């Protein structure tokens, strides 16, 4: 799917995207806004958030920046309730905020474990809980959790990250069963190797070897993932819930 060809009608809808200041989150926020949604861009880095909001506004879209600690119940509920009340609705939530603290398990500190689990998994729980209350009352909603192929197949040096992303998939499946009757869908997206500053840091040799393992013979782009999220956020995906959609060029088969 390409953002040049995929178009959906999100006019009048309100979306929250966490981790929207860069990478995948930035691409998702731009895609949702380009298709008519008003987007609450959430992250900690106010300067980067402002740049994303300005980019969306410059292209004729609607967006606002919200600084938030995704591990804090008070901070999350303040953002979600504030957006839903001020904008009079909440239709879409994309749980994308995430961190890594990679190291082999025997060397992993408690802090490295807790930081990843709290940001990636607890953050998803807090936002989903707060958003679901509004969506249940409205009898409509789309929650998309950005997991990872690491949550499906694991990855050496990422026991904390893989556990958090696998937990997001379990949360997705269970919550989808709870909210399907209220016309709220919950799905997950599991990206593989995606072009980013993180992958660039791996170096050319690692990237070349990674491409050999990917049937598509290339890394994915943030736009590849954003297009998938755009579909799941759309009215067209009304009968898709509890699903984890891999975006990995065929790497996991």
Answer left, alpha or beta for residue 212, where phi above 0 means left and psi between -120 and 50 means alpha: alpha
Helix (H, G, I), strand (E, B) or coil at 22: coil
Instruction: List for the chain the helix, strand, coil content (%; round to 5).
Output: 50, 15, 35
Q: Are 153 and 100 in contact (CB under 8 A)?
A: no
Bridge partner residues of 16 (DSSP): 40, 93
Tell me the CB-side half-sphere exposure of residue 112, using CA atoms within 13 A. Answer: 16
CA–CA dist 135, 87 (Å, integer): 14
Which helix (H) or strand (E) is 18 found in, with range? strand 14-18
Q: Which residues are designated catalytic?
A: 161
Query: 161 phi and psi, to 5 degrees?
Result: -65, -45
């Amino acid at each position: 799917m390409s953002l040049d060809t995929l178009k959906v009608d999100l006019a009048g809808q309100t979306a929250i995207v966490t981790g929207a200041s860069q990478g995948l989150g930035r691409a998702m926020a731009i895609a949702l806004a380009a298709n008519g949604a008003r987007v609450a861009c959430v992250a900690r880095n106010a300067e980067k958030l402002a740049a994303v909001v300005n980019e969306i506004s410059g292209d004729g879209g609607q967006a606002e920046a919200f600084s938030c600690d995704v591990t804090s119940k008070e901070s999350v509920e303040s953002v979600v309730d504030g957006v839903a009340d001020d904008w009079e609705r909440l239709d879409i939530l994309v749980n994308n905020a995430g961190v890594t603290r990679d190291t082999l398990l025997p060397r992993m500190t408690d802090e490295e474990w807790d930081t990843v689990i709290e940001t990636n998994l607890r953050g998803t729980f807090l936002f989903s809980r707060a958003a679901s209350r509004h969506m249940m009352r409205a009898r409509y909603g789309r929650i998309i959790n950005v997991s990872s192929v690491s949550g499906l197949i694991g990855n050496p040096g990422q026991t904390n990250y893989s556990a958090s992303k696998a937990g997001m998939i379990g949360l997705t499946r269970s919550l989808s069963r709870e909210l399907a009757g209220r016309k709220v869908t919950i799905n997950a997206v599991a990206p593989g190797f995606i072009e980013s500053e993180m992958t660039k840091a791996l170096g050319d040799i690692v990237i070349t070897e990674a491409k050999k393992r990917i049937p598509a013979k290339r890394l994915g782009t943030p736009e590849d993932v954003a297009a998938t999220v755009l579909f799941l956020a759309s009215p067209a995906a009304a009968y898709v819930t509890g699903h984890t959609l891999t975006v990995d060029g065929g790497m996991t088969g």
